[in-house]
Structure formats: C-alpha cells, structure tokens
C-alpha cells in the first residue's frame, strides 16, 4: 500500500511559513532606521618646489602662494543636514630649510569666509625632510559654517626666500565625514 504524504507535508510547510514570518513583526520600525556612514575623501594635494617662492624675472621673493579648490558637494542640502562632524587630516613633507604658515580658508560662492584654520609647518632639509601632521575636527555650529563653503583657498607663506633656496613642500590631505542619515518628516 502506497500512501502519498507529499500533499499533507506541503500543506503543513506552507501553514508554518505563512504564520511564522509575520508573527510579532512591527513594520513601523522601518521608519526608525538610522544609518551612520563614515566617508573618507581626498581633499587637497600639492608638490611645491622652493624655486616657486622666488621670481627670477624680477629677482624678488614671492612669499605667499595660493591655490583654490572647489568643494561643491558640501552645499548639498541632504549632506548638510546629515553631517555630524568632519575631520581634516593634513600631512606636509618639507625639505625646504624654512618654516611655513599654511592657511585654509573656506569660502562661499560669493567669496565670503565661512570657516578658517591654519597650521605651522616645520622646516626640513633636502637631505632630511621633516613631516608635519595636522588634524582639525569640525563639530557643532562650525559644521554649518563649513557646509556653506563652496571652495577652499590654501595660502602657503614663507618668511624669506632667495634664488639659492632648494627643496620641496608636499601636502597630502583627506577629510573624514561622519554622517547620520535618518527618515525626515
């Protein structure tokens, strides 16, 4: 005698499948989900030779060099509302026998200053470059100032320069953004 048990077993299986997956499930919790991604991006980099601080045509020192970088992603409304804090990391390798003052000026589209920070870079030599690291944390009210920026202007100032100056100043930097993304009303 052959009995077909397949039909009753499938029935019992589907019965458990239907009622076990839905029991005690609160679908309203899906609205309470908060994501906290951490995003790392390269920000600014340069390699400046000592000769750029001296104008050989006019035979005069050029004590400040400036460069502007656009950072348009900061003006995105969703990004601004989600940003909790930002951490800037700057690493300078200096083989020029001079100290430097480096200013980072964040500007709005109308060229109004929204945020500024600066650091000193220790002198090195061509034979023995010196590495200076600088970290800047931006939190609270400063985050709002930072996110209204459209570009960053880097100014590198040297106290003195002449035609015989040798070496390089390198900058590598990155920014780490700490975000909190949640359902908005």
DSSP letter for 29, please. G
Give the Cα separation of 113 and 10 in Å (integer).
70
Rounded CA Rg of the chain: 28
- Give me the residue spans of the domains in the chain: 37-182
Q: In percent, how much of the chain has pLDDT > 70? A: 79
pTM value is: 0.78
Task: For 9-35, write each residue's pLDDT tens digit.
Answer: 667 666 666 666 555 666 666 566 778
> CB–CB of 72/112 below 8 Å?
no
Over residues 166-171, mean pLDDT:
96
Structure tokens at 39: 């995003």
pLDDT of 1? 46
Q: In percent, how much of the chain has pLDDT > 90? A: 57
Other beta carbons within 10 Å of 40: 11
Nearest CA to 85 out of 128, 146, 44 is that of: 146
Fold of 37-182: Jelly Rolls (2.60.120)
Task: For 117-160, write each residue's pLDDT tens digit.
Answer: 999 999 999 999 999 999 999 998 898 888 888 899 999 999 99
Which H or E element spans position 55? strand 54-55
> CB–CB of 152/68 below 8 Å?
yes
Task: For 85-110, write each residue's pLDDT tens digit.
Answer: 999 999 999 999 999 999 999 999 89
């Amino acid at each position: 005698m052959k009995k077909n048990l397949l039909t009753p077993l499938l029935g019992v299986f589907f019965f458990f499948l239907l009622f076990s997956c839905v029991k005690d499930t609160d679908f309203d919790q899906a609205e309470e989900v908060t994501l906290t991604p951490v995003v790392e991006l390269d920000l600014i980099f340069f390699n400046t030779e000592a000769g750029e601080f001296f104008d050989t045509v006019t035979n005069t020192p050029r004590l400040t060099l400036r460069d502007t970088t656009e950072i348009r992603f900061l003006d995105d409304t969703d990004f601004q509302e989600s940003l909790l804090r930002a951490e800037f990391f700057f690493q300078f390798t200096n083989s020029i026998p001079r100290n430097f003052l480096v200013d980072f000026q964040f500007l709005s589209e109308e060229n109004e200053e929204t945020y500024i920070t600066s650091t000193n870079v220790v002198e090195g030599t061509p034979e023995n470059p010196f590495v200076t690291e600088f970290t800047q944390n931006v939190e609270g009210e400063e985050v709002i100032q930072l996110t209204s920026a459209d570009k960053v202007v880097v100014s590198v100032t040297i106290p003195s320069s002449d035609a015989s100056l040798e070496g390089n100043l390198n900058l590598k930097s990155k920014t780490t953004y700490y975000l909190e993304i949640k359902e908005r009303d």
